[in-house]
Each structure stands twice: as structure tokens, then as C-alpha cells.
Amino acid sequence: MKSFFHVQDIGNLNSAINEAFQVKKTPFAWKELGMNRTIMLVFFNGSLRTRLSSQKAALNLGMNPIVLNIGQDSWKLETEMGVVMDGDKSEHLREAIPVMASYCDIIGIRSFAGLSDREYDYNETVLKQFIEFGGKPVISLESATVHPCQAFADLITIEEHKRNPRPKVVMTWAPHPKALPQAVPNSFAEWMNAADVDFVITHPEGYELDPRFAGNAKVEYDQMKALEGADFVYAKNWSCPGVRDRSQYGSILSKDMSWTVDDRHMAVTNNAFFMHCLPVRRNMIVSDSVIDSPTSLVIPEAANRVVSAQVVMKRMLESL
């Protein structure tokens, strides 16, 4: 595996899930595979789960993880080409990437969408520079448009907890005070469309995901109707993807608190499990009562981030 951005990169989903269960059962069985190998984890943005689970996964495989927080541990990096660097950014990605790549075997990058220029974000401009100038396998640790390690962990969690062969999975938009990227819902939609589930997306008008991620998923604008009979409720906020109106890209179109997932919403489901990638704003995205209920999977979901990262790193090590 040379890169991990999209569901297609993992190949057959059933094989990947079985491998994930094996990795979870015997996490140290491939300790020799990563010996004398280094993974560079580059963070342009904050993180708790991705940072720690990636390091843990690398250590389980016997690899040396190096974490770099851009702008805190390093110089501030310029990401635009052709600019006069007379500001506060001391180094260009064009030099920094090959230097970082020369110190490692695999690179993981967290680089969020700026949410001001749709074309720049949806072209994955920063990630593509790491591919072009690094020459090493690249993992998206949440880039502008995708968060595949999260979506893979979500799928593993659903497979572990499903009570029927083809569960109904509903991804619902929920309110948030800040404009958030679309990477998590994009990847979740992409992975659920590839998985054997009955997938429904619900959000207010104007929040339609980019068709390359939404695919043929059913979109139901009536949230309560969408949630009827759900086996899994996956809550997430995202800002306007700018599909209907490019000028609205990255903006907040609604703060409607009736979309906050609470007991009223869960009552119409099939005693559904609640999921969220975390971090979560309590009583904005989800009520205390739902996230603290026995059917909340937010902690096992986060724990599975080690498993998804380890499968991906294992496959990359095997193809070096």
C-alpha cells in the first residue's frame, strides 16, 4: 500500500475487517516488521486520538514514531507556491517535505481544510505536495477532504456491534458553534457506501456532501424520519460543502438545536448505538443522556483508532 486516503486504498473490505480483528487480538504479532523503520507524523493541526493512536500503532509494530507539530516544534511552513516569503513563515514545504522524508519510511499528515478556497481544499493541495516531493508512502491523518483512519475505525466498530447482517446506519448533521471541515462525513459516507449497510444521510438543506463522497447514499432531509429504525446513529457537524452554491463553501448555514441528538431522537431508532468520532461538544451535537448511555460507542470507537492505523501501517511496511 503506497497511500491511504480513500476506501479503495484498503482493497477488499471484508479482508481488511478480518485483518483488523486479527490485529486487535494479537497486536504485537508483527513486532519484527517495523524494526529499524521510522514513521513521521506531521501535524499542522491539533489532535488527541490521531496523534496517540498512530504512535501506539507504530510502537505495536516495532516502528519508531517521530511526531512533528508544525509551527510549534518546527519553523512555520509556507504551503503556497510562487509567493514572496516576506512574512512569518521561515521555510517552504518544497524543502521541508523532502528533508522530513529523508528521515523516515512512512509519512502521516494532518492538514485540515482552510474552508476559504474550495478548489484548494478539494484538490488536497498540501497532501499532494507530500506525495510529489516526499517519495514515501503517505497516510492522511485527516487532510482537507478525508479522514480514512477514522472511517476505517468506525467500520470496525460497526462490524463488532451489529445485531443483524445489514444494519441501518444513519449519519446525522448536528449543530456546532464553529465551522468544521467535511473530512469526517466525507470519509464516513465513502466507507459506508462501500460497506454492506443500509446507509442514510440526514442534514438541513444546503449541507449536501460532495457527490464523489455521498455517492448514491439516500439523503433524507427530515431527521426524525431518517432515524426511524436506525441500528447506528453517527452524529457529526460539518460546514457547508458548497455543492449547491460555491460561494457558501465553509460557512455555517444552520445552528438549529432541534438537530442535537437526544433521547427524543434515539426513541425512534431500533435501540441504536450512538457514534461520534470525538472530540464532541456535549449538548450541542449530543445530549449528556445519549452520550453517557449504555449504547454509546464513542470510547470503543476511539480505541479502534489504534487498530485501523495498525492495519494500514502494517500493509505499508509489508510493501516497502
Q: Which helix (H) or strand (E) holds 60?
A: helix 49-60
Cell numbers linked to 274: 450512538
CB of 90 to ligand CP, least distance (A): 26
CB closer to ligand CP out of 229 and 279 = 279
Task: Give the residue nearest to ligand CP (CB).
Answer: 50
CB closer to ligand CP out of 29 and 48 = 48
CB of 229 to ligand CP, least distance (A): 27
CB closer to ligand CP out of 50 and 239 = 50
Other CB atoms closer than 10 Å to residue 181's CB: what's the count?
Answer: 24
Residues that bind ligand CP (CB under 6 A): 47-50, 142, 150, 277-279
Please give the single-letter amino acid code of residue 57.
Answer: A
Whether residue 279 is preceded by a cis peptide bond, meaning omega within 30 degrees of 0, is: yes
Q: Is the dihedral of CA 65, 302, 189, 110 positive or negative?
A: negative
CB closer to ligand CP out of 53 and 269 = 53
CB of 84 to ligand CP, least distance (A): 33
- Region for residue 124 given its phi and psi (left: phi exceeds 0; alpha: psi -120 to 50; beta: otherwise): left
CB of 275 to ligand CP, least distance (A): 11
CB of 106 to ligand CP, least distance (A): 18
CB closer to ligand CP out of 107 and 226 = 107
Q: In 3D, which of 221, 211, 176, 168 has the Cα closest to residue 192?
A: 168
Q: In 3D, which of 177, 195, 183 has the Cα closest to residue 283?
A: 177
